[in-house]
């Protein structure tokens, strides 16, 4: 090596050694032959505690001492198995790690032809925290955009989108489906008699009663003021009627106690059924709405099935 190269080599080494970012070199047998102070700190140790150890030994030390790289794994065996799957899996690799002290690092792993591996780190804690904040506000906005603020069930937009997706799935599978609109009876008089806040409590109460009655895969939402809707995928007439009747009776039998007052409730339910092959959301809605109108006209607190299959 020329003097000049040696000079540059020494300078580079000096800078690497004092760098705030971590540098480490593992040899072809995975022994740590060099690391700077910063790398030792990231792993949770003084560098003289880790130099001469293998990559797996260092990770095991970190795991046992709960220092350095953090992991979701409960035992050291599965942690090491997971890491060694990725270690040296390509000539150049980038990945993110979190450390026990709450910092995040972007690590690069570069292997040369003789099998030595150079690790470099870059601290990305700030970017990571910002990313977490952005993701959490995105999730919050998404939730707000899809959830009814009062009852916390799906809002109209979310309900319609979910139903349309499920309707086309049922169409592909040629399954029958049912749609029901549930409208509280004389709800205006609840507001007029007990106040708007009591009315709100009624809506929350009814939403939770219906939710408890339904299966996990049924779609339920608040589609208007005192109007809720349920979509049952892969459901025959008999079953749809049974579910509607169960909902009606649960509402009738569970009055709301609000500030010492017992508020008796009932709901009317209009149901439409479809050979999903031929029916749109709007057609199903319109037919259920007609059945609901009939239920109201016939005295309320009842379930009415639209007389013919939509698209049948």
Ligand X SMILES: Nc1nc2c(ncn2[C@@H]2O[C@H](COP(=O)(O)OP(=O)(O)OP(=O)(O)O)[C@@H](O)[C@H]2O)c(=O)[nH]1
Q: How far is the CB of 141 from ligand X (least distance, A)?
A: 22
**Dist. CA 155–CA 149, nearest whole Å:** 8
Stretch of residues binding ligand X (CB under 6 A), selected from 153-161, 192-200, 244-252, 276-284: 192-200
Stretch of residues binding ligand X (CB under 6 A), selected from 63-71, 152-160, 194-202, 279-287: 194-202
Closest CB to ligand X among residues 184, 279: 184
Closest CB to ligand X among residues 69, 304: 304
Contact by Cβ (8 Å): 221, 158: yes
Residue of 225, 261, 297, 307 interacting with ligand X (CB under 6 A): 225
Catalytic-labelled residue, pool 6, 49, 226, 239? 226
- Strands 176-184 and 227-232 come out as antiparallel
Contacts 24+ apart (CB under 8 A), 59-62: 59/83
Residue of 7, 188, 259, 308 interacting with ligand X (CB under 6 A): 188
Can you point out the beta strands (E) in the chain?
23-26, 32-35, 92-98, 104-111, 117-123, 176-184, 219-222, 227-232, 256-258, 261-263, 267-275, 303-305
Active site residue 226: yes
Q: How far is the CB of 225 from ligand X (least distance, A)?
A: 2
**Dist. CA 184–CA 122, nearest whole Å:** 59
Q: Is there binding between residue 221 and ligand X (CB under 6 A)?
A: no
Residue written as tokens 């880790």? Answer: 50
Closest CB to ligand X among residues 34, 186: 186
Q: Is there binding between residue 84 and ligand X (CB under 6 A)?
A: no
In three-state secondary structure terms, 196 is helix
Query: What b/e sequence results for 8-47 when a residue is b if at least 16 CB atoms lie within 10 Å of its CB, and e otherwise?
Result: eeeeeeeebeeeeebbbbbeeebebebbbebbbbbbbbeb
Q: Is there binding between residue 152 and ligand X (CB under 6 A)?
A: no
277 to 296: interface string for ligand X, x by CB under 6 A: -------------------x
Instruction: Kindly list the catalytic residues.
Output: 226
Contact set with ligand X (CB under 6 A) = 150, 183-188, 191, 196, 199-200, 203, 225-226, 296, 300
């Amino acid at each position: 090596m020329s003097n000049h190269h040696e000079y540059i080599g020494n300078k580079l080494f000096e800078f690497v050694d004092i760098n705030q970012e971590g540098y480490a070199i593992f040899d072809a047998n995975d022994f740590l032959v060099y690391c700077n102070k910063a790398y030792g700190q990231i792993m949770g140790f003084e560098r003289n505690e880790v130099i001469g150890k293998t990559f797996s030994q260092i990770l095991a030390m970190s795991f046992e001492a709960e220092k350095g790289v953090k992991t979701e794994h409960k035992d050291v065996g599965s942690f090491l198995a997971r890491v060694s799957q990725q270690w040296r899996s390509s000539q150049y690799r980038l990945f993110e790690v979190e450390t026990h002290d709450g910092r995040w690092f972007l690590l690069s792993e570069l292997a040369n032809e003789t099998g030595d591996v150079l690790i470099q780190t870059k601290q990305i804690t700030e970017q990571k925290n910002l990313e977490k904040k952005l993701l959490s506000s995105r999730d919050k906005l998404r939730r707000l955009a899809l959830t009814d603020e009062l009852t916390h069930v799906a809002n109209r937009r979310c309900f319609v989108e979910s139903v349309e997706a499920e309707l086309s799935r049922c169409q592909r599978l040629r399954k029958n489906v049912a749609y029901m609109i549930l409208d509280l009876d004389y709800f205006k008089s609840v507001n007029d008699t007990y106040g708007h806040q009591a009315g709100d409590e009624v809506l929350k109460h009814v939403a939770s009663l219906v939710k408890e009655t339904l299966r996990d895969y049924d779609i339920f939402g608040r589609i208007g003021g005192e109007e809720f809707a349920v979509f049952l995928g892969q459901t025959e007439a008999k079953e749809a009627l049974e579910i509607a009747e169960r909902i009606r009776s649960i509402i009738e039998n569970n009055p709301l106690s609000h500030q010492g007052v017992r508020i008796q409730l009932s709901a009317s339910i209009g149901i439409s059924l479809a050979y999903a092959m031929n029916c749109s959301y709007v057609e199903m809605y319109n037919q259920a709405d007609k059945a609901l109108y009939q239920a109201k006209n016939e005295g309320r607190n009842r379930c009415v099935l639209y007389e013919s299959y939509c698209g049948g």
